[in-house]
A and B are shown apart, each in its own frame.
Chain A
């Protein structure tokens, strides 16, 4: 990276000739600084964000007063009075009421890494750190002290594999059979007996799967010897980092990163994944592009090719450019007032009056968010397209006209194909701007946790009225609105990294598309 900057600076020096003084170096310094900041940003996000998925070693810590606890060392700080303190992620929120612990370094007597220390991922209460003692039928009284089973860990692992398969079957059953049937039943006034029977059968099947999942419980023991019995089905994953080699850790790291990308959030978003947020962001940006590109292109074509180039047109052009500078939250307010309450409210009265007073389109949703962002990015598309149109030499237009083409034919057969790369540039800029926008979305439909994805197998498949999750808002929500900031912070970094990645991928897709088209009209700008 620094090489690039140095080479750049040298090239600039060469271009400027000798004796030009310091300005080439200043300019090169600016470039180097920008590059450095980009790299620093990515390194920070990647380090902090991806590091948390690494299965770090767990320690069993003994303090000078004889107390014992287990946890994952997170960081060390120096307090103002010169003491050093360690922060441990101790998990076990259900036992201790907190998942973090500050310990004075001087009070630590010993730190061990026993191989049988286990970290469990659970559906509720966050992770657990301690020992697995036994797997037993739930019927057994949890008060009776069961024998410590040496094979408990092996049994647990086998159960986890089975549970994963069962959960998958249950999810498929819910999505593909139960949900459509339920919808059909809710919609029909007198349900057909066949549907009812099918629904009952599916429910029974689901109950059977749930039964197969449940029925056993896991006896856990914390480092200081407290016992705890949890239902086995609430355990999602378990590993013993101290007993794992680097390769096994790497594999687990990959699994956890994948789970982060592909699963929904748990525990008030501070645990689990961000798949719905990725999905919401990408879908919203795609819908936004589908709306903004045709409108922006039409507006630019009108301004540049059709309108009388007088004072009014110039005024409109200036106004459009200034629109790009309006703060995005203002667009959010506009979207709320016009789209959500205005158009959405009216739509509800006309088409969905049966559901009132609960709103269908009269509340924030995917459609209004996409339209608001389309409005926000409209100037970008107009300006980019107009610049593209201005670069097309007049003799190309005249060439078509002189062959007997009408103005419309000239536009569609010569001008627009040549302006295509510029339109795509506009779209790229719009995508880049829209994907990172959060403020207006908070007013027009983004939520902390959406019950379902806005695109699914149920008719009409794309639910434009549904609320959705967004990576940018997820970052804000994790960072500023979650109770457990220590758990949330690494996820903030990871989500921010993901947001950057999503934007880069969206941009690269558009750039690839443009390059593909540009190859057809090479040497346009002679």
Chain B
């Protein structure tokens, strides 16, 4: 019996990017948690200054992948990793890499809004103060511009010194985005950023994401396929710890190459 092997016969379901256009290059990445694999042998590239969405059923490993990109995954005592992730050509697990600096470059917004129990101003200034910036003029300007970038300035400019926890959920999430933008990241990771929000707040977050891609690379994990379709340029479909299909969003949703993808996006499987 001979195995028929013709790579050019069917176009690959995985889209590829040139090194120059790639922000993250992920190479044969396997992640596990307490010995249980969460991701296995994943290889993909994330394009610079685009919105890339990860979709897939619960437990498919998409959030774990996201948390690997800024090494939050490493924080867990029982987490394990094989394979490489390169950011702009540098291995993020390299010995000379400063994790704190990596996380400043790769910002992250979480599912539940998590402003600190401080004033709005102090929340946005938090990351800047970590970098040793103390001058009030510099901080004031950075806070205003970050809040403006997150489309929040007009709503909070009169309550900058009120508690951040007094804001609405949608405002809090935009505050968290502003807080992240204030430290000038190159990448913004968004872990289901709108799943805890009402439709209007969700809309505002989505507008924000679209507006931000001219400045930085965005990676979005979402359960909501309409959302992925609305905001992302590329979409990766993960299932059971494996990358199934990765393509331009329009193509993936209108003309999936694989039946597994099609079944998932048309809702024929859980």
Q: CB within 8 Å of B: which residues of A?
A: 308-310, 393, 395-396, 398-406, 409, 413-414, 417-418, 520-524
Contact = CB atoms under 8 A, between A and B. Distances in A.
Contact of B77 (A310, A399, A418, A520): A310
B220 to A, nearest CB: 15
B183 A403 contact: yes
Interface stretch (B46-54, B83-91, B125-133): B125-133
Contacts of B116: 396, 399-400, 414
Contacts of B176: 399
22 contacts: A308-B77, A395-B112, A396-B114, A398-B110, A399-B110, A399-B176, A400-B116, A401-B72, A401-B75, A402-B72, A402-B108, A402-B180, A403-B107, A403-B126, A403-B127, A403-B180, A404-B103, A404-B127, A404-B130, A404-B183, A417-B117, A522-B163
B28 to A, nearest CB: 26
A376 B114 CA distance: 38
A395 B114 contact: yes
Given A402-B70, A403-B179, A524-B117, 4 more contacts: A399-B110, A399-B114, A402-B180, A413-B126
Interface of B: 70, 72, 75, 77, 99-101, 103-104, 107-108, 110-112, 114-117, 126-127, 130-131, 163, 165, 176, 179-180, 183
Nearest to B126: A403
Nearest to B129: A413
B131 A404 contact: yes
Contacts of B99: 406
A140 to B, nearest CB: 80
A396 B165 CA distance: 13
Nearest to A523: B165
A402 B107 contact: yes
Contacts of B103: 401-405
Contacts, number: 69
Contact of A405 (B70, B100, B165): B100
Contacts of B179: 403
Contacts of B183: 403-404
A399 B193 CA distance: 13
A398 B114 contact: yes
Given A402-B107, A403-B130, A522-B165, A418 B100 contact: no
Nearest to A396: B114
A411 to B, nearest CB: 13
Most interface-central of B75, B114, B131 (chain A CB within 10 A): B114
B129 to A, nearest CB: 8
What 7 pairs across the A-B complex have the smallest Cβ distances? A404-B104, A402-B108, A403-B127, A521-B117, A395-B114, A399-B114, A404-B100
A308 B79 CA distance: 12
Nearest to B112: A395
A502 to B, nearest CB: 34
Given A309-B77, A395-B110, A400 B117 contact: no
A520 B117 contact: yes
A18 to B, nearest CB: 38
A107 B130 CA distance: 89
Contacts of A399: 110, 114-116, 176
